């Protein structure tokens, strides 16, 4: 076998092996580091000759040299040492660390460890040890906020229990089926990850990572960094390395406990002066009295609508919807009453140890989370084992195994109608609703459906169905449960075949199973209508990965070193989902069983019932790196993939990558204050096959009355689909100064994603919704800066600071078939588009009609602004152009203070919450003009319906008035009439605010908001007890900390909603009005 | 070299596995033209009733056409219509295109054998397109469904052009079928099985086509009177159209066991349980059914069910009147509601409820109106009116009688009444004709409209909506059966994706892209 591999290398790596040998004197020995640990892979050379060798994994070497020879011993990160052989037959050499070099070993693609100086591309390491006092965030990846330049993170509105949107270098796609997320690889195993939304989302596999088990994140950004991941590396890769075992002082037990209190952080600003209702001119005369009150049975009554355009809340007693008289006052905190205070509780314990034979670490972690939404809670258990064992001198085995189970109960659904679109009456006593009007105490049915309350209590459908039923009843009486089990396992066998030749084989899988169970109670007697629902949904997703790499490392000459490997990768990915549910309601009340289905269960051709997917990928890869004097590195890599996803004629594809790293601070003599300087460049062209079955031409099949039916696909199938490609060129500069006290890393890159596999949207009238093709090109040029330093460092005090910045703007260069614009998202007249030769993700909305001369808005004869459908305003893009963070650590003796700030600039967001808050009269800024006190103009409604201005609010009622009173809520919109003269047409203030309803909720230019922010992400204060104290307690280390997460916006442009309130990981907009979650907590960490 | 050989052999065996995994195992790849044909016909919302469509239709139309009583709280309705026929109809047409493409790939002799499929496909296309044009006015027609021909930017055709084209197509196919006999070849015989509407009965097809021509002709009676009149004349000459129960085009669903999943029954059940309901006996319909000095309309008892007092009490139309009875509104016990509901035995609980595609009543009412508009056609208006009402009574009693759901506890015996004897019906009919005869010519149109209002009720909102919009020109508020605070939608808006994906052509129609511009056929 060894021979085969050797031959193979010979073929693939051009016979680079030449070893000179002169039979003179055999010298052997060991090379060790200052701690006495052996150094494998150190090079030993006869000075001035082409004769050399390398140390084995035990640090041992043997070389034959003349007695007069001098040996040169080199290993990165250590000062080069020269030793005269003389008469010695055994040489034990200890190297001294090179403080100036500060060499880091980083994990690169496929788990290959390399010195960072050798990398010709950008890679950022985030060590969790610097973040460990921040509590144990429910989602470990939140730790990456602001930590790596070019990495953009945004949470969804669901907060910490929901999915996270992670994006590297503004990766974008023209097709929603394409993922823009990076590939996550944990201990060599590619992780399962998918998009999440905010409708009863239970998160995805990434939510199962345990921050306490993670050693580091390695962010591989460009195409070259991830070229060996080929098909999946186009969006960058985040490598996660878990903590391994090792001998520790003491018992080797680590324990931590943290608890945080999670508060709903409501950012909406409401008006508290006017309650629900309509202004008089919106209702027929007689419906509303002169004071604007709705009349029910002749009494002033609760207006059964959600629009807050009713009369002023002056505390008078009115007839409530349930027939009781109550004061008509604002419930200022009624939105808060929908939510509750939550918490996150985490316990973590780990034990580790090690010895000559091997090491291990095992841990258990438990999270209990109570969400801010009624009834929402979650808990998980996370187990992990990591162990390695030396099987023989040449063979090592490593096993990493994790198991996580997560139970989620009643993650909320969006409920847009109730929470956003139609508003909530400002006088609605939500607490009363939730306590008294959800469950009928006698029958246990939905309160409103008992005793005809729904017809007899005029409250409006939104309060009854939207809030009472779809929120309170569903969240507290029904169950929407999901249990996720997640296994990630990897086993690695490393074999040292010969000097410089080793084989590493890894196999493993990521497996997620979900068991969903829905139990909906009967809301009214079954005799009245069907009711009750029980459903289960099981799915299983698995990704198996096996790879084998044969490494060959050889010191070719004194100055030239070869590091090469070839290998293969096999992957198999499967998904299967099966659902079963009752149909037509229950037979008997609230027995949650499929046997309680009123109608027989039918096979459903939709996705809910059954779906499956399978894809395979086989890859061959090779990498050759040559190092000259350890200051010039050239690396050539290539991978050839064959994927089952693409049509057989195109399913094999190759992608190459090339990079170079030049450590000019070693090549040239530079001033002493320059500690390190490196210039690097890389290029790669990667490819990927798109989603499974995307290019299949398949038809629907059905049966109606015994006759077979066939239906065509809803889009135009592709012909000859090719893999999509991404090509990226990157150069970077890395410098450190003043003995490494300060430094920076700067990258500039240009990427082009072309031949994208996509569904190109076309008009529905073409008969198809989209064309499945290779089309489009997006280019992206950007830079990244990582600036770090230690401004202050004394014996007791130090201040470390890291600043990350990045900027880029993806541009659309091509589409196809004459289509110039691809709609990425669209709703109510607004679109987010990719338009040729424009930045990706532009938001377009119909312009207001404007006067060409004055530029003012034109007001129609009806007194309203209108939109000019022929013109569209381009209002910015959804992609931020600049993101980054500022991270500080201040330490004084045992006390540390960390605070992290991150920012995002340059994007805009469509905020329908803002639009509807104005449109339904809930927002604080909708008061002007509503009555005399708020500057409203006096007018009356003439018999012909026309609004006619009056000189004063005390004017007498004209005889031709349609209503028996005059109005006080007139406004005149700022603008000009069609002829250019100033507008003088009176409308009501309520019409001014609710103009969205006039255009059927079309999004207007003024509700697309700039979404810039600077956020104080977290503050942590930690105190580590002095050693002399803890040692008496038999504790190795004891740290207490208090922290606050998602703390405050230092700057924010988005009104009323959180800047991170997106509707999902693949969404560009928000329309949820959910509060953000702010948490305050404390933790204790102890090592025994 | 050895490893290269190993790699190569591994790769070639891998390649086979990869190729076998390429296709979705749940993906079907061998469709047939007749499979597409049956698929076109069985799609919900053409002949089969569609739960989703009706759910939204009740909300949008029951209030604004006054066909369903609601707990009116005085607020004006918005024009929103949850259903969007646009994408829906183009996607229904997709199977016709697929069928034609599949046929075109066959040898010429086989193509000829499929011609009945193609001709009747043209009829189905017309049947869908007129509905699309009714809802939007101008829509892509000539350029539509041409993605396969690389036409991705279809222009919008005028409603007039679309109507004219459909009428020409229908005439053409009607003529072709008149002299056609099905052959005995396997392909030609396929239509007997795959035509789930008419089982390959070409007379039925011609009845449907000609009746449809009458419907469309009357629709354009104000906008293109000449074409309307000529078309009616041609159909009358041909003589094949829905003229009695036997020739009425109705379809009983073959999947009645799934009615509460897919069909109108589910929509009726779900809409009824809403607070505002939409399915109470509407006051304005009761005014037509029960007129002082006339016998009660026999249809009252099959269209509606008695309330808890045994009366047929309507839900008041206006909010103020609703307010007065609000405390008495009661549907705790469905056999004893207050006010009355639509008859649950006839409709909601009746899985055998046929789709009344084109009934003889509708045709009689069209002919009655045609007789009024063009006396030279020689149509007896009163005979047509009388036959229309008689056959409407007949079919609703027949449908009511079809419901065999006697186990459902909410059903009340009074909701399955015995049909009155013919003498009683004749008395009623005589009163209707007497009322008609004394009315002036405008009111005569109004009385015909009233019969459509009752006959179509909430079951056929599209036809009633079209007639209401059309007759508004001549009859004004005479055809407003809704409460005063409910607004009538003139058309619906195009999906926004059409605007962004077909911007240049869209410019031609964007001025009318609102809910308030009357469509061409209204003549307004």
Averaged pLDDT, A184-211: 85
Q: Are A672 and A681 in contact (CB under 8 A)?
A: no
pLDDT band at A251 (very low <50, low <70, confident <90, very high): confident
Per-residue confidence (pLDDT) for residue A163, from 0 to 100 = 79
Per-residue confidence (pLDDT) for residue A822, from 0 to 100 = 87
* B2 vs A: CB within 8 A: yes
Per-residue pLDDT of A916-940, as tens digits, reads 999 899 999 999 999 999 999 999 9
Per-residue confidence (pLDDT) for residue A5, from 0 to 100 = 41
H helix or E strand, kind and range, residue A1051: strand A1037-1052
- Closest residue in B to A9 (Cα) is B3
Grouping H, G, I as helix, E, B as strand and the rest as coil, residue A842 is: strand
DSSP assignment of A392-415: SSSEEEEEEEEEEEEEEE------
How many DSSP H helices and E strands does chain B contain? 23, 2
pLDDT band at A134 (very low <50, low <70, confident <90, very high): low
Per-residue confidence (pLDDT) for residue B7, from 0 to 100 = 52
CA dist A831 and A948 (Å) reads 39
Are the Cβ atoms of B326 and A456 closer than 8 angstroms? yes
* Furthest-apart CA atoms within chain B: distance in Å: 106
Distance of CA B395 to the CA centre of its chain: 17
pLDDT band at A699 (very low <50, low <70, confident <90, very high): very high
- How far apart, in Å, are the Cα atoms of A700 and each of A318, A771, B147? 59, 18, 19
pLDDT band at B406 (very low <50, low <70, confident <90, very high): low
Q: Are A962 and A941 in contact (CB under 8 A)?
A: yes
Are the Cβ atoms of B35 and A708 closer than 8 angstroms? yes
* E strand map for A294-435: 294-296, 299-301, 317-319, 325-327, 342-354, 358-370, 377-390, 395-409
- Closest residue in B to A573 (Cα) is B21
State yes or no: pLDDT of A944 exceeds 70: yes
CA dist A419 and A1073 (Å) reads 6
Per-residue pLDDT of B477-495, as tens digits, reads 999 999 988 889 999 989 8
The count of CB pairs under 8 A between chains A and B is 288
pLDDT band at A602 (very low <50, low <70, confident <90, very high): low
Backbone CA torsion sign across A923, A926, A932, A938: negative
State yes or no: pLDDT of A1030 exceeds 70: yes
Residue B478 main-chain phi, psi, to 5 deg: -60, -30
CA dist B18 and B22 (Å) reads 6
Per-residue confidence (pLDDT) for residue A828, from 0 to 100 = 72
Chain A residues with CB under 8 Å of B26 CB are 610-612
The C-alpha of B387 sits at a distance from chain A's nearest C-alpha, in angstroms, of 34
State yes or no: pLDDT of B358 exceeds 70: yes
Per-residue pLDDT of A48-70, as tens digits, reads 777 888 888 778 888 888 888 88
Choose from B4, B39, B91, B508 for mutation: most chain A CBs within 10 A: B39
State yes or no: pLDDT of A608 exceeds 70: no
Q: Are A497 and A548 in contact (CB under 8 A)?
A: no
Q: Are B379 and B235 in contact (CB under 8 A)?
A: no
Residue A847 main-chain phi, psi, to 5 deg: -70, 160
Per-residue pLDDT of A704-719, as tens digits, reads 989 999 999 999 998 8
Better-predicted residue by pLDDT, B125 or A675: B125
pLDDT band at A1042 (very low <50, low <70, confident <90, very high): very high
- How far apart, in Å, are the Cα atoms of A411 and each of A160, A165, A263, A382, A797? 12, 18, 16, 20, 45
CA dist B30 and B28 (Å) reads 6
Are the Cβ atoms of A618 and B26 closer than 8 angstroms? no
- What letter would DSSP give residue A192? P
Chain B residues with CB under 8 Å of A647 CB are 22
ipTM for this prediction: 0.93
Q: Which of A472-476, A876-880, B403-407, B413-417 has the lowest mean pLDDT?
A: B403-407
Q: Which of A203-217, A693-707, B242-256, B339-353 has the lowest mean pLDDT?
A: A203-217
Q: Are A764 and B90 in contact (CB under 8 A)?
A: yes
Averaged pLDDT, A507-521: 96
Distance of CA B421 to the CA centre of its chain: 31
Q: Read off the pTM.
A: 0.85
Question: Among B521, B371, B522, B378, which residue's Cα sits nearest to residue B436?
Answer: B371
Q: B480's torsion region: left (phi>0), alpha (psi -120 to 50) or beta? A: beta
The answer for A 575-604 residues in CB contact with B (under 8 A) is 583-584, 599-600, 602
Per-residue confidence (pLDDT) for residue B37, from 0 to 100 = 98
The C-alpha of A430 sits at a distance from chain B's nearest C-alpha, in angstroms, of 20
Tokens read off for A397: 């085995």
Q: Are A562 and A552 in contact (CB under 8 A)?
A: yes
pLDDT band at A1 (very low <50, low <70, confident <90, very high): very low
CA dist A835 and B293 (Å) reads 69
pLDDT band at A135 (very low <50, low <70, confident <90, very high): low
Per-residue confidence (pLDDT) for residue B275, from 0 to 100 = 65
CB-CB neighbours of B293 under 10 Å: 7
CA dist A647 and A723 (Å) reads 10
The answer for A 861-920 residues in CB contact with B (under 8 A) is 869-870
Are the Cβ atoms of B22 and A696 closer than 8 angstroms? yes
Per-residue confidence (pLDDT) for residue B3, from 0 to 100 = 46
Q: Are A392 and A293 in contact (CB under 8 A)?
A: no
Choose from A306, A455, A620 for mutation: most chain B CBs within 10 A: A455
Please state, for a pLDDT cut of 90, what percent of chain A lies above it. Answer: 54
* A614 vs B: CB within 8 A: yes
CA dist A475 and A334 (Å) reads 18
b/e A1037-1051 (16+ beta carbons within 10 angstroms → b):
bbbbbbbbbbbebee
Contacts of A926 by beta carbon, 8 Å cutoff, 6+ apart? A271, A308, A917, A918, A989, A993
Helix residue spans in A899-942 (DSSP H): 912-919
Per-residue pLDDT of A301-356, as tens digits, reads 998 888 899 999 999 999 998 889 999 999 999 999 999 999 999 999 999 998 88
Contacts of B252 by beta carbon, 8 Å cutoff, 6+ apart? B352, B354, B355
Chain B residues with CB under 8 Å of A584 CB are 260-261
Question: Among B170, B159, B131, B125, which residue's Cα sits nearest to residue B145?
Answer: B125
Are the Cβ atoms of B331 and A452 closer than 8 angstroms? yes
* A703 vs B: CB within 8 A: no
Per-residue confidence (pLDDT) for residue A1039, from 0 to 100 = 92
CB-CB neighbours of A34 under 10 Å: 10
The C-alpha of B104 sits at a distance from chain A's nearest C-alpha, in angstroms, of 15
State yes or no: pLDDT of A16 exceeds 50: no
CB-CB neighbours of A931 under 10 Å: 19
Tokens read off for A721: 């689909």
Chain A residues with CB under 8 Å of B3 CB are 4-5, 7-8, 11
Beta bridge partners of A349: A255, A364
Grouping H, G, I as helix, E, B as strand and the rest as coil, residue A257 is: strand
Averaged pLDDT, B304-327: 92
Averaged pLDDT, B160-168: 98
Residues in chain B: 524
Mean pLDDT (chain A) is: 88
Per-residue confidence (pLDDT) for residue B368, from 0 to 100 = 98
Chain B residues with CB under 8 Å of A528 CB are 273, 331-334, 410
State yes or no: pLDDT of B469 exceeds 60: yes
CA dist A1022 and A132 (Å) reads 10
Tokens read off for A928: 């002007």
Q: Are A383 and A348 in contact (CB under 8 A)?
A: no
Are the Cβ atoms of B98 and A710 closer than 8 angstroms? yes
CA dist B182 and B190 (Å) reads 10
Choose from A176, A524, A765 for mutation: most chain B CBs within 10 A: A765
């Amino acid at each position: 076998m060894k021979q085969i591999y050797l031959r193979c290398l010979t073929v693939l790596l051009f016979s680079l092996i030449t070893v000179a040998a002169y039979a003179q004197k055999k010298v052997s020995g060991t090379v060790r580091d200052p701690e006495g640990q052996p150094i494998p892979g150190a090079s030993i050379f006869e000075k001035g000759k082409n004769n050399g060798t390398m140390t084995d994994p035990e640090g041992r070497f043997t070389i034959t040299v003349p007695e007069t020879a001098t040996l040169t011993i080199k290993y990165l990160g250590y000062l080069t040492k020269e030793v005269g052989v003389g008469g010695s037959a055994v040489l034990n050499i200890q190297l001294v660390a090179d403080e100036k070099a500060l060499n880091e070993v980083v994990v690169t693609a496929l788990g290959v460890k390399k010195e960072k100086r050798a990398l010709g591309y950008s890679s950022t390491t985030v060590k969790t040890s610097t973040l460990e006092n921040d509590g144990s965030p429910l989602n470990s990846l939140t730790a990456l906020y602001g930590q790596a330049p070019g990495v953009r993170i945004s949470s969804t509105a669901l907060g910490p229990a929901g999915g996270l949107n992670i994006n590297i270098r503004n990766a974008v796609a023209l097709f929603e089926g394409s993922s823009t997320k990076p590939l996550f690889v944990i201990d060599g195993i590619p992780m399962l990850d998918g998009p999440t939304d905010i409708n009863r989302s239970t998160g995805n596999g990434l939510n199962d990572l345990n921050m306490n088990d993670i050693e580091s994140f390695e962010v591989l950004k460009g195409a070259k960094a991830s070229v060996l991941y080929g098909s999946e590396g186009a969006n960058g890769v985040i490598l996660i390395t878990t903590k391994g075992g090792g001998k520790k002082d003491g018992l080797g037990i680590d324990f931590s406990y943290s608890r945080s209190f999670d508060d709903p952080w409501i950012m909406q600003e409401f008006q508290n002066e006017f309650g629900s209702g309509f202004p008089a001119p919106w209702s027929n005369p007689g419906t509303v009295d002169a004071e604007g009150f709705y009349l029910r049975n002749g009494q002033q009554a609760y207006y059964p609508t959600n629009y807050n355009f009713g009369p002023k809340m002056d505390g008078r007693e009115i007839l409530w919807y349930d027939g009781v008289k109550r004061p008509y006052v604002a419930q200022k905190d009624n939105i808060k009453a929908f939510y509750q205070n939550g918490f996150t509780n985490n316990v973590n314990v780990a034990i580790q140890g090690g010895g000559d034979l091997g090491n291990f670490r095992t841990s258990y972690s438990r999270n209990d989370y109570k969400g801010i939404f009624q009834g929402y809670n979650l808990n998980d258990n996370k187990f992990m084992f990591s162990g390695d064992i030396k099987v023989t001198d040449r063979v090592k085995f490593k096993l990493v195994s994790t198991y996580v189970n997560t139970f989620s109960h009643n993650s909320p659904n969006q409920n847009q109608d109730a929470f956003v679109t139609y508003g909530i009456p400002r006088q609605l006593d939500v607490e009363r609703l939730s306590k008294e009007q959800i469950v009928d105490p006698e029958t246990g049915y939905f309160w409103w459906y008992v005793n005809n309350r729904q017809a007899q209590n005029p409250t409006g459908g939104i309060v009854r169905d939207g809030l009472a039923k779809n929120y309170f009843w569903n969240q507290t009486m029904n169950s929407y449960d999901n249990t996720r089990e997640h296994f990630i396992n990897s086993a690695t066998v490393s074999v040292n075949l010969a000097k410089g030749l080793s084989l590493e084989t890894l196999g493993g899988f990521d497996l997620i199973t979900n068991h969903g169970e829905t139990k909906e109670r009967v809301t009214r007697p079954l005799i009245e209508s069907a009711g009750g629902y029980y459903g289960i949904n099981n799915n299983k997703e698995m990704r198996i990965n096996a790879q084998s790499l044969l490494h060959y490392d050889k010191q070719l000459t004194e100055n030239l070193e070869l590091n090469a490997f070839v290998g293969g990768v096999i992957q198999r990915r499967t998904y299967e989902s099966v659902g079963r549910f009752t149909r037509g309601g229950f037979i008997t009340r609230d027995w949650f069983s499929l046997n309680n289905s009123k109608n027989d269960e039918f096979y459903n051709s939709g996705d809910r019932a059954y779906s499956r997917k399978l894809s395979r990928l086989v890859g061959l890869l090779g990498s050759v790196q040559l190092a000259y004097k350890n200051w010039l590195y050239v690396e050539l890599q290539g991978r050839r993939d064959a994927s089952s996803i693409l049509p057989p004629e195109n399913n094999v594809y190759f992608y190459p990558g090339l990079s170079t790293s030049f450590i000019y601070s070693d090549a040239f003599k530079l001033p002493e204050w320059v500690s390190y300087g490196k210039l690097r460049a890389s290029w790669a062209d990667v490819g990927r096959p798109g989603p499974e079955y995307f290019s299949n031409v398949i038809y629907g099949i059905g049966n109606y009355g015994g006759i077979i039916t066939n239906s065509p696909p809803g889009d135009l199938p592709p012909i000859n689909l090719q893999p999509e490609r991404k090509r990226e060129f990157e150069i970077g500069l890395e410098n450190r100064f003043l003995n490494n006290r300060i430094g920076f890393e700067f990258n500039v890159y240009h990427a082009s994603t072309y031949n994208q596999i996509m569904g190109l949207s076309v008009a529905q009238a073409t008969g198809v919704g989209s064309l499945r093709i290779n089309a489009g090109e997006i280019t992206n040029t950007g830079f990244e800066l990582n600036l770090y330093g230690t401004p202050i460092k004394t014996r007791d005090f130090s201040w470390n600071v890291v600043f990350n910045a990045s900027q880029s703007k993806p541009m659309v260069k091509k589409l196809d078939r004459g289509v110039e614009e691809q709609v990425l998202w669209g709703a109510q007249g607004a679109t987010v588009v990719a338009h040729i030769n424009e930045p990706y993700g532009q938001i377009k909305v119909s312009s207001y009609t404007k006067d060409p001369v004055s530029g003012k808005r034109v007001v129609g004869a009806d007194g309203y602004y209108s939109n000019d459908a022929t013109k569209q305003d381009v209002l910015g893009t959804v992609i931020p152009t600049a993101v980054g963070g500022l991270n500080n650590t201040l330490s004084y003796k045992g006390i540390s203070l960390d605070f992290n700030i991150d920012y995002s600039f340059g994007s805009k967001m469509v905020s329908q919450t803002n639009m509807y808050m104005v449109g339904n009269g809930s927002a604080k800024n909708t008061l002007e003009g509503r009555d005399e006190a708020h500057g409203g103009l006096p007018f009356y409604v003439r018999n012909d319906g026309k609004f006619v201005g009056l000189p004063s609010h005390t004017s007498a009622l004209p005889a031709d008035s349609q209503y028996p009173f005059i109005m006080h809520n007139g406004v005149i919109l700022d603008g000009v009439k069609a002829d250019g003269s100033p507008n003088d047409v009176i409308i009501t203030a309520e019409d001014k605010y609710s103009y969205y309803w006039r255009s059927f909720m079309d999004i207007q230019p003024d509700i697309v908001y700039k979404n810039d922010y600077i956020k104080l992400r977290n503050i942590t204060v930690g105190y580590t007890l002095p050693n002399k104290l803890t040692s008496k307690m038999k504790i190795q280390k004891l740290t207490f900390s208090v922290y606050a997460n998602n703390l405050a916006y230092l700057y924010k442009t988005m009104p009323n909603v959180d800047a991170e309130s997106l509707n999902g990981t693949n969404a560009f907009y928000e329309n949820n009005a959910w509060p953000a979650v702010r948490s305050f907590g404390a933790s204790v960490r102890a090592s025994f | 070299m050895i490893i290269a050989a190993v790699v190569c052999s591994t790769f070639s065996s891998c390649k086979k596995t990869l190729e076998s995994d390429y296709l979705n195992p749940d993906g079907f790849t061998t469709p047939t033209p007749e499979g597409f044909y049956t698929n076109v016909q069985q799609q919900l919302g053409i002949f089969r009733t569609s739960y989703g469509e009706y759910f939204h239709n009740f909300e949008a139309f029951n209030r604004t056409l006054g066909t369903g009583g609601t707990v009116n709280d005085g607020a004006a309705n918005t024009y929103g219509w949850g259903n969007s026929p646009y994408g829906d109809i183009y996607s229904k047409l997709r199977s016709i295109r697929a069928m034609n493409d599949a046929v075109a790939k066959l040898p010429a002799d086989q193509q000829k054998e499929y011609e009945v499929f193609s001709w009747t496909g043209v009829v189905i296309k017309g049947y869908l397109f007129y509905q699309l044009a009714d809802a939007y006015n101008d829509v892509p027609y000539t350029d539509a469904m041409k993605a396969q021909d690389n036409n991705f930017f279809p222009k919008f055709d005028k409603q007039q052009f679309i109507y004219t084209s459909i009428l020409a197509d229908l005439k053409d196919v009607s003529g072709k079928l008149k002299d056609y006999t099905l052959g005995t070849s396997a392909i030609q015989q396929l239509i007997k099985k795959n035509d789930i509407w008419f089982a390959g009965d070409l007379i039925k097809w011609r009845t449907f086509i000609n009746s449809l021509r009458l419907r469309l002709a009357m629709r354009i009676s104000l906008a293109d009177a000449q074409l309307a009149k000529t078309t009616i004349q041609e159909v009358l000459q041909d003589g094949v159209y829905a003229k009695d129960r036997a020739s009425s085009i109705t379809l009983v669903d073959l999947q009645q066991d799934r009615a509460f999943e897919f069909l109108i029954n589910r929509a009726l059940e779900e809409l009824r349980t809403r607070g505002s309901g939409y399915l109470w006996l509407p006051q304005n319909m009761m005014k037509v059914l029960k007129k002082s000095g006339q016998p009660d309309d026999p249809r009252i008892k099959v269209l509606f069910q008695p309330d808890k007092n045994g009366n047929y009490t309507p839900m008041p139309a206006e909010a103020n009147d609703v307010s007065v009875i609000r405390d008495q509104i009661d549907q705790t016990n469905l056999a004893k509601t207050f006010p009355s509901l639509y008859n649950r035995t006839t409709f909601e609980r009746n899985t055998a409820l046929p789709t009344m595609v084109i009934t003889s009543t509708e045709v009689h009412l069209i002919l009655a109106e045609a007789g009024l508009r063009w006396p030279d056609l020689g149509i007896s208006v009163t005979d047509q009116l009388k036959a229309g009402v008689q056959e409407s009574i007949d079919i609703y009693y027949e449908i009511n009688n079809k419901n065999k759901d006697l186990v459902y506890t909410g059903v009340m015996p009074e909701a399955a009444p015995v049909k009155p004897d013919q003498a009683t019906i004749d008395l009623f009919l005589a009163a209707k004709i007497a009322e008609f005869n004394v009315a002036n010519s405008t009111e005569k149109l109004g009385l015909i409209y009233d019969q459509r209002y009752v006959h179509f009720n909430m079951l056929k909102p599209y036809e009633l909506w079209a007639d209401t919009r059309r007759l508004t020109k001549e009859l004004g508020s005479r055809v407003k059966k809704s409460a005063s605070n409910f607004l009538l939608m003139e058309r619906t808006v195009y999906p926004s994706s059409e605007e962004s994906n077909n911007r240049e052509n869209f410019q031609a129609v964007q001025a009318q892209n609102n809910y308030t511009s009357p469509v061409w056929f209204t003549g307004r």
